[in-house]
């Protein structure tokens, strides 16, 4: 479990995160949502250790992030997988080399062992026999699957995703959503997704945290969000007429 207690972060004296407390469980996909400037990215970077909070505690399975030694921080880093917005693959490296990169950086495995692991995760994301292709030779959806393969190649306990569906068509986005949820449950990872995609929120948001102006304004599940009376959440999630109709239909069915 990742536990966050009273998290505060500011820049040049301006508060960005204002006392956020929450927790994330293994085997569940958790979504961080909110308007631009709400603090989502800063929150994610604090969890990753890229930003040091002014106040608060972040615990990874009982390990306080700010109290870890350099050696312990390196060990924790090995347990974290990251899917970056846009994929962030190295254009000059093949698919195989991209996925193998973390193994070369963090392990002393033999080349044959690393290749075996690369092939295993490529099979898991349904991308066999693309080892020698370069990212530019792949579609956007295939690139995202390579990014996911690279993120799970170290068999992480924690998976962080920043806008994993950015730039994808709706069908491909659904494929990526389902893949992330499947591997989360299969490997019993703690998965945290920073997203603007309300389709993803509704489909795989087993836990949803809504941030507004650096404050946790609401927390619940993708079922709870249909029923919430929180006006701020309703105005944000159901801003389109289509989603308003979906919510109305759901509420009518459950009366």
Query: Is it the case that residue 240 has pLDDT exceeding 80?
Result: no
Has residue 249 been placed in a domain? Answer: no
pLDDT tens column, 90-137: 999 999 999 999 999 888 999 999 999 999 999 999 898 899 999 999
Q: Are strands 207-212 and 28-33 parallel, antiparallel or unpaired?
A: parallel
Residues sharing a CB contact under 8 Å with residue 52, sequence separation 6 or more, in sequence order: 46, 66
Query: Is residue 243 assigned to a domain?
Result: no
| Residue 117 domain flag | yes
Sheet of 28-33: strand order equals 80-83, 158-162, 190-194, 28-33, 207-212, 215-220
pLDDT digits (tens, 9 = 90+) for 53-76: 999 999 999 999 888 888 888 889
Kindly report the CATH number assigned to the domain that includes residue 212.
3.40.50.300
Asked whether residue 241 is assigned to any structural domain, the reply reads no
The range of the structural domain enclosing residue 97 comes to: 2-229
pLDDT of residue 145: 92
Residue 12 main-chain phi, psi, to 5 deg:
55, 40
- 6 in a structural domain: yes
Q: What backbone torsions phi and psi does residue 187 show, to the nearest 5 degrees?
A: -95, 0
Is 242 domain-assigned?
A: no
Structural domain count of the chain: 1
Q: Give the span between the Cα atoms of 198 and 202, in whole angstroms.
A: 6
Q: What is the mean pLDDT of residues 223-244?
A: 82
164 vs 141: CA distance, rounded Å: 10
The predicted pLDDT at position 235 comes to 84
Residue 124 lies in a domain: yes
Confidence category of residue 255, pLDDT binned at 50, 70, 90 = low
């Amino acid at each position: 479990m990742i536990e966050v207690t009273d998290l505060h972060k500011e820049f040049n004296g301006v508060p960005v995160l204002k006392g956020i407390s929450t927790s994330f469980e293994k085997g569940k996909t958790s979504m961080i949502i909110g308007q631009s400037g709400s603090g989502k990215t800063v929150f994610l970077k604090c969890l990753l250790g890229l930003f040091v909070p002014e106040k608060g505690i972040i615990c990874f399975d009982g390990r306080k992030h700010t109290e870890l030694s350099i050696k312990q921080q390196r060990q924790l880093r090995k347990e974290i997988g990251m899917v970056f917005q846009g994929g962030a693959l190295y254009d000059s490296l093949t698919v195989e080399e991209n996925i193998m990169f973390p193994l070369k950086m963090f392990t002393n495995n033999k080349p044959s062992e690393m290749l075996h692991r690369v092939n295993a995760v490529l099979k898991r994301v349904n991308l066999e026999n693309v080892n020698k292709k370069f990212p530019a030779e792949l579609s956007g959806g295939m690139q995202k699957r390579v990014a996911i393969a690279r993120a799970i190649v170290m068999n992480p306990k924690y998976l962080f995703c920043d806008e994993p569906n950015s730039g994808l068509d709706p069908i491909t986005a659904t494929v990526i959503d389902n893949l992330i949820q499947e591997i989360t449950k299969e490997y019993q990872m703690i998965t945290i997704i920073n997203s603007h995609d309300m389709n993803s929120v509704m489909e795989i948001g087993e836990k949803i945290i809504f941030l507004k102006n650096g404050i946790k304004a609401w927390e619940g599940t993708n079922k709870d969000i249909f029923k919430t009376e929180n006006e701020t959440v309703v105005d944000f999630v159901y801003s389109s007429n289509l989603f308003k109709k979906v919510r109305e239909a759901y509420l009518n069915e459950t009366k």
